Amino acid sequence: MKKYLVAFILLIQAAAIPDLAFAHGERAQQAGLRMRTVHWFDTAVSTTKLNVNDTVVVSGSFVPSVNWPEHMAGPDGTAFLNIGVPGPTFVRVDSRVNGMPMIRSTRFYKGQTYQYSITLKARTPGRYHVHPVLSVKDTGPVIGPGFWVEVGGSQADFQNTVKTMTGETIDLETYGMGNIAFWSLLWFAVGLVWFIYWLTKCPIIIPRYRRVAELGDKADDIITPTDKKVAATLLAVTLSLIGFGYFWAQDEYPITTPLQTGIVHLPEIDVSADREVDVTVADARYRIPGRSFELTLDVNNRSGKDVKLGNLTVANVRFVDPSVIDIKPADSHDLVASGGLRVEGGPIKAGESARIKVFAEDALWETYRLTSLIYDPDSRFGAMLYFYADDGARDYVEVGGSMLPVFM
Amino acid sequence: MTDTNEAAEARPKARSAVTTREQQWQVYKNIDLMAIPLIVLLFAGIFSFHFALTVGDWDYWVDWRDRRWWPLVTPLSLLVLPAVFGYLLWTKLRLPLAASVALLSFALAAWVSRVMNFEIFAGFPLNMVSPSTFIGLGLILDCTLMLTRSFFVTGLFGAFFFAVLIYPINWPLMAPFRVPVEYNGTLVTVADLMGYEYVRTAIPEYVRIIEQSTLRTFGEAVTPLTAVFAGFLAILMYYFWTWVGALASRAVWIKRIF
């Protein structure tokens, strides 16, 4: 009996104490959506351990895919560079794209490269999975790679002051709260006066119901002169308070502006030196039994150096050839398949064209739910290829197109 | 005489527990004691749900309360329950309490929700998510009904001012958050800055509906124009929902059920 009781208590505890979600369900989105919307790369965090009030910079680059699904609104309408953290555990003190402050929304054009940085100030202690996010109007969030960041210290120490254009230094954590509390309580009190006035006449439900029914058309006779006086007084008090409050606020805050919004236009950056390799997809197949993605590519190397394919990134999963580039996972959730990339036919000589065959093979296809691509309505893929020269120079090029599943 | 009737006569006659006027008065008081808190809770629940569905984020966040849509959408939504219940309470009990009690109850529920859900659970600073105040507007509606004893006049003046005054009554709470701040060469308000800094991953900047419309005839007089427009719509809303209250008070459906 005792063991059943213990088991029951444990069961109740398990149900009652929920696991807090510190990540963002990045595998939940459709595979095709993750592959063909935004290609994130060079994502980095400046530190993975900090204290409350310290800052961490999330930075990197992204390219909105030229293979963006037709049935989804694109980022060239309205989009916003966002950050995926569990609520206001951090405050965003700065964010920029191509050097432009990003407090407002903007437009991102497909195929262009954007460099971003987001500076966060730690507010709440804990361990959080921090992602860059591109929020696209009528499409939703497109999540970039995530990194675990640990925040120590105490939230009680958190400070967030800002200087207004009227010269006042304010703490955003508590600013205006005295005002809000005072006026809210005042209106509560005035409202209660009216309510309590009627409650003093209790019982009011049955006796009034019967009396009103008895009086019929003359039911207004139930109203006393005192009722009218109280109503008139309270109406006058209410209108006076509204007027007084309005003019008091105008006097106290004479300089105000309406809420601000709008679209910011971004400057372009020159990345032509990083884009001297052209690739055409000759064939693309996904072999389901082997969890192997096979690409046949025609590569034209316009650069002055020999290049090798070292990294194929699909939906933030990096399939890497370690003989070309050494990329180590930053943490346990960094999606790197070291040794997951095999290339037949490289390197591509400077100024030459060649056909290569690429194999991206790893269990991450399964665990990261990319195999569900075969259930997409248009069976198309998108990926970013990274070619490396011996001196470390890098070229990147997006590929995409139809993909054939191989079932047996 | 049948056996059944004989048995009934043999039983002692049922007597009321209430035999004096004082006892009856006490029963009425007990009914009030039970019903009024329930009504307050009911108002709080219904109003919170209704408001969340129709206004929602517009009132949850300090950086959403713009001067064109917030003063238009909010009073039209707020008028529904005061008008419906106002008809019931006035015609059946001559109590001009529906609007003020509904808005008092709603204010109480809103504060509980903002503190529990938004501040304690989600971690937002309370000044960013504190509710607006509407109680004074309920008083205007109730006191007008009391003084005029007419739904027509209450709609014409009470409902009109209910909507017109929603911005001024909240200005003491909102004005501090409209103070300008320079952010990296961009003009923003304190509210805009808070909306940007305190991260809401699911609420990107563009989902706010800030002054989106074509009503620009009167230049920069956005708020007065919106207020008067909201006032006219509020009159119609009040009459419509009072009519719904009249339909509901017939209780035809309840009779059919029983």
Phi, psi of A401 (to 5 degrees): 155, -165
**Predicted pLDDT of residue A18:** 46
Of A173, A195, A220, the CB nearest to B125: A173
B69: closest CA of chain A, how far (Å):
12
Q: Which residues of A touch B187 (CB under 8 A)?
A: 165, 257, 260
ipTM of the predicted structure? 0.90
Q: Choose among B95, B176, B222: nearest Cβ to A204.
A: B95
- Residue of chain A nearest B148, judged by CA positions: A228
Strands, E, within chain B: which ranges? Answer: 180-183, 186-189
Closest CB from A176, A203, A243 relative to B29: A203
> Which chain B residues are Cβ-neighbours of A212 within 8 angstroms?
91-94
CA B74, B79, B82, B88: dihedral to nearest 10 degrees? -160
A vs B: CB pairs below 8 A:
279
Reference A358, options A316, A324, A408; nearest CA is: A324
| Candidates 1.20.1450.10, 1.10.8.60, 3.40.50.300, 1.10.150.120; CATH matching B22-252 | 1.20.1450.10
Tokens for B145, please give them: 């009904």
- Write out the two tokens for A24: 């963002």
C-alpha–C-alpha distance, residues A355 and A345, integer Å: 7
CB–CB of B94/A219 below 8 Å? Answer: yes
Bridge-based pairing state of the strands A380-388 and A308-314: antiparallel
Give the residue from chain B lying closest to A135, CA to CA: B204
Q: Where are the domains of chain B?
A: 22-252
DSSP annotation of B139? H
- CB pair distance less than 8 Å for A179 and B25: no
pLDDT of residue A330: 82
The verdict on a CB contact (< 8 Å) between A235 and B147 is yes
Q: Which CATH code, of 2.60.40.1580, 1.10.10.60, 2.60.120.260, 3.10.180.10, is assigned to A272-406?
A: 2.60.40.1580
**What is the Cα–Cα distance from A17 to A120, expressed in whole angstroms?**
30
Q: What pLDDT, on the 0 to 100 scale, is given for residue B10?
A: 65
The rounded distance, in Å, linking the Cα atoms of A90 and A53 is 9
B104 contacts in chain A (CB < 8 Å): 188, 191-192, 195
Contact (CB, 8 A) for A381 and A400: yes
Determine, for residues B127 and A180 on separate chains, whether the beta-carbon distance falls below 8 Å.
yes
Of B123, B124, B135, the CB nearest to A187: B135
Which regions of chain A are under pLDDT 50? 17-22
A174 and B127 within 8 Å at the Cβ level: the answer is yes
| Confidence at B258, pLDDT banded by 50, 70, 90 | very low
Residue corresponding to tokens 């606020």? A249
Q: In B, which residues are within 8 Å of A256 by CB distance?
A: 175, 178-180, 189
Note whether B93 and B245 are within 8 A (CB): no
| Residues of B with Cβ-Cβ distance to A137 under 8 angstroms | 204, 206-207
| Closest residue to A194, CB basis, from B91, B127, B142 | B142
The pLDDT tens digits for B122-139 are: 999 999 999 999 999 999
Predicted local confidence at residue A22, as pLDDT: 46
Report the run of H or E that residue A192 belongs to, with start and end.
helix A177-199
Binary contact (B172, A246; C-beta < 8 A) = yes
- 3-class DSSP state of A9: helix
How far is B258 from B256, CA to CA, in rounded Å? 5
- N residues, chain A: 408
Angle of helix B135-148 relative to helix B80-93, nearest 10 degrees, comes to: 40
Query: Chain B closest CA to A374's CA: distance in Å?
Result: 29
**Contact assignment for A242 to B135 by CB distance below 8 Å:** no
- Count other C-beta atoms under 10 Å from residue A193's C-beta: 15
Residue B211, SS3?
A: coil
Buried b (16+ CB within 10 A) or exposed e, A364-380: bbeebbbbebbebeebb
Measured CA to CA, the distance from residue A33 to residue A316 in angstroms comes to: 12
Residue B132, helix vs strand vs coil: coil
Contact B135 A188 (CB under 8 A): yes
Structural Rg of chain B based on CA atoms: 24
B164 token code pair: 């017109």
What DSSP string describes A125-152?
-EEEEEEEEEEETTTEEEE---EEEEEE
Chain B contact set for A83 (CB, 8 A): 199, 201
- CATH 3.30.479.30 describes domain A15-166: no
**pLDDT number for residue A6:** 62
Q: Which residues of A touch B82 (CB under 8 A)?
A: none
Q: Residue A67: helix, strand or coil by DSSP?
A: coil
Of A160, A235, A242, the CB nearest to B168: A242
- Can you give the pLDDT at residue A21? 46
User: Which of B93, B124, B143 comes nearest A231 by C-beta?
Assistant: B143
Cis ω before A64 (30° cut-off from 0):
no
Residue A274's pLDDT is what? 83
Q: What share of chain B is helix, strand, coil (3-state, %, to 5)?
A: 70, 5, 25
Domain ranges of chain A: 15-166, 177-252, 272-406
